[in-house]
Structure 1
Amino acid sequence: MNALYRSAALAALLAAASPAAMAQTVSNDRVYLDADELIQDQQQGLYIARGDVRLQSGERVLFAQELIYNPALNRVVASGGVQIFDGSEPAQFAEEVELSDDLREGVARGFATLLENNGRAAAGAALRRPDGSVELSNAYYTACELCESGEDEPTWRLRASRVVRDTQNKVIYYRNVRLEVLGRPILYSPVFAHADPSAARQSGFLFPVLNSSNRLGFSYQQPYLWAIGPSQELIVSPRYMGKVNPLLQLDWSRRFYSGEMNVQTSFTYEQEFDQDGKFGDEELRGHVFADGLFRFNQNFRWGFGVEAVSGDLYLRRYGFEESPDRADGLFEIRDQRMLLNQVFFIGDGEHFHGDATVIHFNKLQENVDDDTLPLISPLIRFGAELPMPRWAGDLDFSFNTANLQRNAGDDYTRASLALDWTRPTILPGGLRAEAFALARADAYAFNETDASGNEIDSTNLTRSLGAAGLDLSLPFVRPGESVNWLIAPRMAAIIASSDNADSTPVNVDSLSIEFQQSQLFDAARANGYDLWEDGARLDVGLTVAADWRGALPGELEVFAGRSFRLDGDQRFPASSGLADDDSDWIGQIELDLGQFDLDARARIDSESQEINRLDLTAGFDAWRVSMNTRYTRRTDAASTRQLEEVTASAGFAITEDWSVVYDGVIDLEENEIRRQRAGLQYRDECTSLRILWERDNIDVANLGPSDSVKLEIVLFTLGGLSDD
Structure 2
Amino acid sequence: MRSQLRTGAALSTLAAMFVSGAAFAQTTAATDAAAGDGLGDGGVYVDAQSATRQGDLITAQGAERGERALVRSRGYTLRANQVAYDLGTGVASAAGQAEIVSPNGDVAYASQLRTDAELQVGVAVDFATRLSNGSSLMAATAVRRGESANELNYAIFTPCPICDEKGNPKTPSISIQAEKVVQDEELRAILYRNAVFKVGGVPVLYLPFFSHPDPTVERASGLLVPIINYDDGRGLSVETPYLHVVSPSEDWLISPQFNGRVAPFLNLQWRRRFDDGTIVLRGGYTYERPFGDYDADGDGEADIPLETESRSYVLGWGRFDPDGPWRWGFTAERTSDKTLFDRYDISSPYQDNGLYFGDQRRLISQLYAERQSERSYVSVAAFSIQSLRVAQTNEDALGLNVFEDDDSLPVVAPLVDARWEPEAPMFGGRLRLRGSAVALFRDAYVGSPVLRPEMIPATTLGAGGVDSRRLSGQAEWRRIVTTRQGLRFEPFVDLRVDAYSIGDLPPALGLDDATITRTRAAAGVDLSYPLFKPLRGGASLILEPVGQLLIANDPDLDPRIPNEDSQTSALDETSLFAVDRFPGYDLLEGGARVTAGARATLRWAGGRTASLFVGRSLRADREDGFRVPIPDNLTDLYDPTGLADRTSDWVVQADFEPSDRIRGRAHALIDSSGDIRRAEAALDGRWGRRNLATVNYIVDRSNPVEGPLNRNYEFVQLTAQQFVYGNWGVATAGIADLDRDQITRSEVGLLFDDDCVRFELGYRRDNTRVRPTGPSEGVYVRLNLATFGGSGYGRSEQR
**For residues 381-412 of structure 1, what are the alpha-carbon distances to aligned partners after superposition, in whole Å with 9 as ceiling and x for unaligned?**
11111233376211001011111012331111
Partner of 1:345: 369
Question: 2:51 is aligned with what amino acid?
Answer: L
Is 1:48 aligned to residue 59 of structure 2? yes
1:206 and 1:719 in contact (8 A); partners too: no
Partner of 2:536: 481
Go from structure 1 to structure 2 and tell me whether the alpha carbon gap of 1:490 and 1:3 turns closer, same or farther (over 3 Å shift): closer
Question: In the TM superposition, what is the alpha-carbon distance from 1:455 to its structure 2 partner?
Answer: 11
Partner of 2:313: 287
From 32, 50, 56, the counterpart of 1:37 = 50
From 243, 256, 266, the counterpart of 1:238 = 256
TM-score (norm. length: structure 1): 0.89
From 510, 514, 517, the counterpart of 1:459 = 514
CA distance in 2, matches of 1:672, 1:503: 41
Go from structure 1 to structure 2 and tell me whether the alpha carbon gap of 1:69 and 1:542 turns closer, same or farther (over 3 Å shift): closer
**For residues 593-615 of structure 1, what are the alpha-carbon distances to aligned partners after superposition, in whole Å with 9 as ceiling and x for unaligned?**
11323323222222x22333332
Q: How do residues 395-410 of structure 1 correspond to structure 2 at under 5 angstroms? A: 395-408=431-444, 409-410=465-466
CA distance in 2, matches of 1:556, 1:48: 69
1:449 and 1:456 in contact (8 A); partners too: yes
**For residues 453-483 of structure 1, what are the alpha-carbon distances to aligned partners after superposition, in whole Å with 9 as ceiling and x for unaligned?**
x997311111221111111111111112233
Question: 2:361 is aligned with what amino acid?
Answer: R
CA distance in 1, matches of 2:757, 2:655: 37
Question: 2:193 is aligned with what amino acid?
Answer: R
1:467 and 1:496 in contact (8 A); partners too: yes
Q: How do residues 35-434 of structure 1 correspond to structure 2 at under 5 angstroms? A: 35-40=48-53, 47-51=58-62, 52-69=68-85, 75-88=91-104, 90-101=106-117, 105-131=121-147, 133-147=149-163, 152-274=170-292, 280-321=306-347, 323-326=349-352, 328-334=353-359, 336-365=360-389, 366-389=402-425, 392-408=428-444, 409-434=465-490
- SS at 1:274's partner residue? coil
Partner of 1:441: 497
Question: In the TM superposition, what is the alpha-carbon distance from 1:371 to its structure 2 partner?
Answer: 2.0
Go from structure 1 to structure 2 and tell me whether the alpha carbon gap of 1:465 and 1:46 turns closer, same or farther (over 3 Å shift): closer
CA distance in 2, matches of 1:677, 1:451: 53
Question: 2:541 is aligned with what amino acid?
Answer: W
Question: In the TM superposition, what is the alpha-carbon distance from 1:559 to its structure 2 partner?
Answer: 1.4
CA distance in 2, matches of 1:392, 1:685: 59
CA distance in 1, matches of 2:241, 2:507: 49
- SS at 2:194's partner residue? strand
Partner of 1:14: none
Question: In the TM superposition, what is the alpha-carbon distance from 1:431 to its structure 2 partner?
Answer: 0.8
Is 1:674 aligned to residue 752 of structure 2? no
- SS at 2:306's partner residue? strand
Partner of 2:582: 526
Is 1:586 aligned to residue 651 of structure 2? yes
1:323 and 1:338 in contact (8 A); partners too: no
- SS at 2:182's partner residue? strand
Question: 1:496 is aligned with what amino acid?
Answer: A
Question: In the TM superposition, what is the alpha-carbon distance from 1:507 to its structure 2 partner?
Answer: 2.1
Question: 1:545 is aligned with what amino acid?
Answer: T
Question: 1:473 is aligned with what amino acid?
Answer: S
Question: In the TM superposition, what is the alpha-carbon distance from 1:305 to its structure 2 partner?
Answer: 0.6
Question: In the TM superposition, what is the alpha-carbon distance from 1:572 to its structure 2 partner?
Answer: 2.6
Question: In the TM superposition, what is the alpha-carbon distance from 1:55 to its structure 2 partner?
Answer: 3.5
1:115 and 1:198 in contact (8 A); partners too: no
Go from structure 1 to structure 2 and tell me whether the alpha carbon gap of 1:231 and 1:32 turns closer, same or farther (over 3 Å shift): farther
Q: What are the ranges of 5 or more consecutive residues in structure 1 without an aligned counterpart?
A: 5-22
- SS at 1:296's partner residue? coil
Question: 2:327 is aligned with what amino acid?
Answer: R
1:515 and 1:578 in contact (8 A); partners too: no
The number of residues matched between the two structures is 697
Which stretch shows the higher mean deviation, 266-275 or 253-262? 266-275
Question: In the TM superposition, what is the alpha-carbon distance from 1:27 to its structure 2 partner?
Answer: 4.7
Question: In the TM superposition, what is the alpha-carbon distance from 1:198 to its structure 2 partner?
Answer: 2.6
Question: In the TM superposition, what is the alpha-carbon distance from 1:548 to its structure 2 partner?
Answer: 2.2
- SS at 1:579's partner residue? coil
Question: 2:156 is aligned with what amino acid?
Answer: Y
CA RMSD of aligned residues (A): 3.0
Which stretch shows the higher mean deviation, 586-595 or 175-184? 586-595
- SS at 2:125's partner residue? strand
Structure possessing the higher relative contact order (Cα contacts under 8 Å, 6 or more residues apart) = 2
Is 1:602 aligned to residue 693 of structure 2? no
CA distance in 1, matches of 2:85, 2:528: 83
- SS at 1:153's partner residue? coil
Go from structure 1 to structure 2 and tell me whether the alpha carbon gap of 1:382 and 1:317 turns closer, same or farther (over 3 Å shift): same
Question: 1:586 is aligned with what amino acid?
Answer: V
2:233 and 2:773 in contact (8 A); partners too: no
CA distance in 1, matches of 2:716, 2:189: 50
2:496 and 2:520 in contact (8 A); partners too: yes
Go from structure 1 to structure 2 and tell me whether the alpha carbon gap of 1:70 and 1:442 turns closer, same or farther (over 3 Å shift): closer
- SS at 1:689's partner residue? strand
**For residues 211-236 of structure 1, what are the alpha-carbon distances to aligned partners after superposition, in whole Å with 9 as ceiling and x for unaligned?**
22222211112111111001111111
Partner of 1:566: 620
CA distance in 2, matches of 1:422, 1:32: 71
Question: 2:529 is aligned with what amino acid?
Answer: L
Question: 2:602 is aligned with what amino acid?
Answer: A
Question: In the TM superposition, what is the alpha-carbon distance from 1:643 to its structure 2 partner?
Answer: 2.1
- SS at 1:712's partner residue? strand
Question: 1:152 is aligned with what amino acid?
Answer: K
Which stretch shows the higher mean deviation, 275-284 or 571-580? 275-284
- SS at 1:273's partner residue? coil
- SS at 2:640's partner residue? helix
Question: 1:437 is aligned with what amino acid?
Answer: V
Which stretch shows the higher mean deviation, 660-669 or 701-710? 701-710
1:662 and 1:679 in contact (8 A); partners too: yes
Partner of 1:469: 524
Q: What are the ranges of 5 or more consecutive residues in structure 2 without an aligned counterpart?
A: 1-5, 9-35, 63-67, 295-300, 390-401, 445-464, 628-638
CA distance in 2, matches of 1:501, 1:355: 28
- SS at 2:570's partner residue? coil
2:232 and 2:773 in contact (8 A); partners too: no
2:494 and 2:523 in contact (8 A); partners too: yes
- SS at 1:371's partner residue? helix
CA distance in 2, matches of 1:72, 1:410: 91
Is 1:618 aligned to residue 683 of structure 2? yes
- SS at 1:654's partner residue? strand
1:115 and 1:197 in contact (8 A); partners too: no
1:236 and 1:249 in contact (8 A); partners too: yes
Question: In the TM superposition, what is the alpha-carbon distance from 1:125 to its structure 2 partner?
Answer: 1.0
1:585 and 1:604 in contact (8 A); partners too: yes
Which stretch shows the higher mean deviation, 469-478 or 114-123? 114-123
CA distance in 2, matches of 1:241, 1:469: 65
Go from structure 1 to structure 2 and tell me whether the alpha carbon gap of 1:224 and 1:500 turns closer, same or farther (over 3 Å shift): closer
CA distance in 2, matches of 1:701, 1:144: 40
CA distance in 2, matches of 1:517, 1:27: 67
Question: 1:400 is aligned with what amino acid?
Answer: S
CA distance in 1, matches of 2:348, 2:507: 30
Which stretch shows the higher mean deviation, 204-213 or 149-158? 149-158
CA distance in 1, matches of 2:186, 2:755: 28
Go from structure 1 to structure 2 and tell me whether the alpha carbon gap of 1:702 and 1:27 turns closer, same or farther (over 3 Å shift): closer
Question: 2:254 is aligned with what amino acid?
Answer: V
